[in-house]
Amino acid sequence: MASKNNVVFGDEENQLPGGTNKVQPCSSTSRKNTIDDEGKKPIFLSFSERLGVPDFFCLDVWRASMGELLGSAVLVFMLDTIVISTLESDTKMPNLIMSILIAIVITILLLAVVPVSGGHINPIISFSAALVGIISMSRAIIYIMAQCVGAILGALALRAVVSSSIEDTFSLGGCTITIIAPGPNGPVIVGLEMAQALWLEIFCTFVFLFASIWMAYDHRQAKSLGHVTVLSIVGVVLGLLVFISTTVTARKGYGGAGMNPARCLGPAIIRGGHLWDGHWIFWVGPTIGCVAFYVYTKIIPPKHFLGEYGFKHDFVGVVKALSNV
């Protein structure tokens, strides 16, 4: 059954032929109309069509974004709970247990949200899918806003159920680069240098997209591997990257690669304080990683990825359309 269900990341417009659970595109131009009748030359699409402006006025897209909102809220609540509980336990390798639990939770959440919105629940996925052209930039903006709001709600829910001492001790499970810890001569700041944290975000984001989302973006691999397999691999890769980023640094105060700006934003807004220290890294790093992955998709032979003409929302196509406005 999984092999027949082709629902994968960012595939709302193109990868579910005949499906009943995809978000219907609101643009008047479908993908097949980007090629002329002879099938030889792609026809011109306006800047508005490339950007997907009609998605802003599409009720179905906004309704799908509710799946992103709720999924992000549950994600933040669950992941931050896992972070707090594993660090508070007496286990010798809390980062290993945390990584395994994160992989399981992410896989389950993706399976729940994919039929609703495509299962992004991460600005990295939405932005990368928009750059590649699988979804429009307009839809990506809607999804990212929903993800950020959901992350804030998830952090609020967590704050409501934990004690103030746990909230202070574990920073509400948020993304941290440094923390203030007691030292021999008073409080000291411990953690990772910002340059190191930025490079980790860039590398981990690129590896995440390359090693897991790549399979979802490629129609052939997504179809051959199947829905459940692809999403399970995504969860495992994320769990491995969390484990690697926390192990390779081994620095107290560094919470590991975020790889999800919305997840880092929620606790930062609700908890505040030192969670804002270097918070920009959790946005800038993944953005650079997404752009690097997009450049990679443009370098490889087209026949090995999106076919001869690609997707109509591809970023290069958007820029070309803008130059003709």
Q: Which of 63-72, 92-101, 158-167, 205-214 reaches the highest mean pLDDT?
A: 63-72
Does the structure show a pLDDT above 80 at 186?
no
What's the confidence (pLDDT) of residue 138? 92
Q: Could you write out the DSSP letters of every residue in 21-34?
A: SSPPP-SSS-GGGG
Q: How far apart are CA 87 and CA 72, in angstroms?
A: 22
Q: How confident is the model over 288-312, as a mean pLDDT?
A: 75
CA-to-CA distance for 143 and 122, rounded, in angstroms? 9
- What pLDDT is stored for residue 292 in this prediction? 95
So what's the pLDDT on residue 24?
53
Residue 208 · residue 237 · CB < 8 Å: yes
* Residue 220 token pair: 């052939």
Q: Supply the DSSP symbol for 211.
A: I
Q: How confident is the model at residue 26 (pLDDT cuts 50, 70, 90)?
A: low
Residue 35 has pLDDT above 70, yes or no: no
pLDDT higher than 80, residue 319: no
* pLDDT score at 86: 87
Predicted local confidence at residue 312, as pLDDT? 67
Question: Given a cut of 80, is residue 174 above it in pLDDT?
Answer: yes
More confident residue, 29 or 89: 89
Residue 180: burial class (beta carbons within 10 Å; 0-12, 13-18, 19+): middle
Predicted confidence at residue 141, as pLDDT, reads: 96
Question: pLDDT (tens digit, 9 = 90+) per residue, 135-151?
Answer: 899 999 999 999 999 99
Taking 50 as the threshold, does the pLDDT of residue 38 lie above it?
no
Residue 233 has pLDDT above 70, yes or no: yes
pLDDT at 214: 78
Please indicate whether residue 36 or residue 72 has the higher confidence score (pLDDT). Answer: 72
The model's confidence at residue 33, banded by pLDDT at 50, 70 and 90, is very low
Residue 20 pLDDT greater than 70, yes or no:
no
Superfamily of domain 49-174+194-317: Glycerol uptake facilitator protein. (1.20.1080.10)
Most confident of 16-20, 28-32, 90-94, 290-294: 290-294
State if pTM tops 0.75: yes
**Joined tokens for residue 265:** 């934003």
Q: What is the pLDDT of residue 9?
A: 45
What share of the chain in percent tops pLDDT 70?
Answer: 77
Mean per-residue pLDDT for 62-70? 95
7 neighbors 115 (Cβ within 8 angstroms): yes
